[in-house]
Amino acid sequence: MSASRPGVVAGLRQTATLAWRSLLQIRHNPWELGDFSIQPILFLLLFMFVFGGAIAGSTAEYLRFILPGVIVMNMVFVTVYVGYGLNTDLTRGVFDRFRAMPIARWAPLAGRIVADLVKQAWCILLLMAVGLLLGFRVEAPWPGVLAMMLLVLTVALAMSWIMVLVGVLARDPEHVQLFGFTALFPVTFISNVFVPVDTMPDWLQGAVMLNPVSLLADASRGLLLGGPVLAPALGALAWAVLLTAVFAPLSVWALNRRLARG
C-alpha cells in the first residue's frame, strides 16, 4: 500500500468487498429478499393470470408477450435500490467512514453499482426460470437469452445513474423510494410492456415507441422469440449512452458537492 494513492487493482478489490457487503445486507433483511424475488414473480403471475385472457386471449399466449416485459419493468424498479442504498450510507454516516479510510475514492459508489447489477442479474434469471416453469419457450436461438441479459444490464447500469443522482439529492432513504417509484411508474406504464402499442391511440404511440422501456422490451422479445432486434436494441443502447453521458457526470458532481458541504 503506497502512501500516495490506492492503485486501480486495490480499488477494484475494495469495490468487490463493498459489493459483497451490499449483497450481505440482504441476508439479514428478508423483506429485501422479497423485493428481489417474490415481487417480480408476483408481478409476472398477476399480469399473466389477471390480464392474460383479456389482452391476448389466453394466459399462455400472453406469457410470451409479458415475460420479456416484466423482466424490463422489474429492472427499472430495481434501479431505485442503488439510490436507496447510497442515500442510506450518506445519511447514516457510513459513507463518511469509508471516506476517512485509505481506499479508492470511487470504490464506495462502484461497490453499490456492482452489487446492484448482481441483483439485476439475479432477477432476470429468476424471472426466466419461473417463466420456463409456467410454459414460456425460447423460440430464438439460445444465445439470444445471454444477449438479452447483457442488453438489459447495460440499460440498467445507465438508468442507475439517475437513481444515484436521486440518492444524492434526497434528504432520506424514504424520499428516494417515494420519488423513485413515482417517477418510474409513468415511464414503465406508458410503454409496450403490458400491451402491444398498436392497441393505443395514435397520439400516444409516438411517445410509447420513444420510451427506452418499450425499445428494451421489444429488443428482448426479439432476442427471446425472434423478430426485429437491431432497431429497438440500437434505440435502447442510444438511450443508455445518452443517460450515462448526462447523469454519470451530474451524479458525481452532485455527490462531491454534497460531501463538500459537510
Ligand X SMILES: Nc1ncnc2c1ncn2[C@@H]1O[C@H](COP(=O)(O)OP(=O)(O)OP(=O)(O)O)[C@@H](O)[C@H]1O
| 25 close to 15: Cβ distance less than 8 angstroms | no
Q: Cβ closer to other proteins: 105 or 137?
A: 105
Q: Which of 43, 62, 84, 98 binds other proteins (CB under 8 A)?
A: 98
The CB-of-97 to other proteins minimum distance in angstroms stands at 5
Q: Binding partner of residue 10 among ligand X, other proteins, none, CB under 5 to 8 Å per kind?
A: other proteins
194: helix, strand or coil: coil
The CB-of-100 to ligand X minimum distance in angstroms stands at 16
Q: Which of 7, 42, 99, 241 binds other proteins (CB under 8 A)?
A: 99
Q: Is 87 in the site for other proteins (CB under 8 A)?
A: no
The CB-of-254 to other proteins minimum distance in angstroms stands at 17
Enter the C-alpha cell of residue 61.
399466449
Q: How far apart are CA 84 and CA 172, in angstroms?
A: 8
Q: Which of 134, 135, 152 is nearest to 144 (CA)?
A: 152
Instruction: Name, in order, each residue with C-beta under 8 angstroms of 25's C-beta and a sequence gap of 6 or more.
Output: 32
The CB-of-262 to ligand X minimum distance in angstroms stands at 3
15: helix, strand or coil: helix
Q: Which of 90, 89, 76 is nearest to 160 (CA)?
A: 76
Q: How far apart are CA 201 and CA 151, in angstroms?
A: 29
Enter the C-alpha cell of residue 226.
425472434
Distances (CA, A) of 151 to 65, 229, 255: 18, 11, 27
Q: Which stretch binds other proteins (CB under 8 A): 40-48, 98-106, 144-152, 220-228?
A: 98-106
Enter the C-alpha cell of residue 85.
442504498
Q: Which of 96, 52, 44, 240 is nearest to 156 (CA)?
A: 240
Phi/psi-derived region of residue 46, left when phi > 0, alpha when psi is between -120 and 50, beta in every other case: alpha
Q: Cβ closer to other proteins: 103 or 229?
A: 103
Q: How far apart are CA 125 and CA 132, in angstroms?
A: 11
Q: Is 110 in the site for other proteins (CB under 8 A)?
A: no
Task: State which of positions 119-158 bind other proteins (CB under 8 A).
Answer: none
The CB-of-205 to other proteins minimum distance in angstroms stands at 44
Residue ranges that bind ligand X, judged by CB under 6 A: 261-262
Binding string, 10-49, against other proteins, x = CB under 8 A? Answer: x--xx--xx-xx--xx--xx--------------------
The CB-of-80 to other proteins minimum distance in angstroms stands at 17
Q: Is 92 in the site for other proteins (CB under 8 A)?
A: yes
Q: Which of 33, 97, 129, 234 binds other proteins (CB under 8 A)?
A: 97
Q: Is 171 in the site for other proteins (CB under 8 A)?
A: no
Q: Which residues bind other proteins (CB under 8 A)?
A: 1-6, 10, 13-14, 17-18, 20-21, 24-25, 28-29, 92-94, 96-103, 107, 259-262
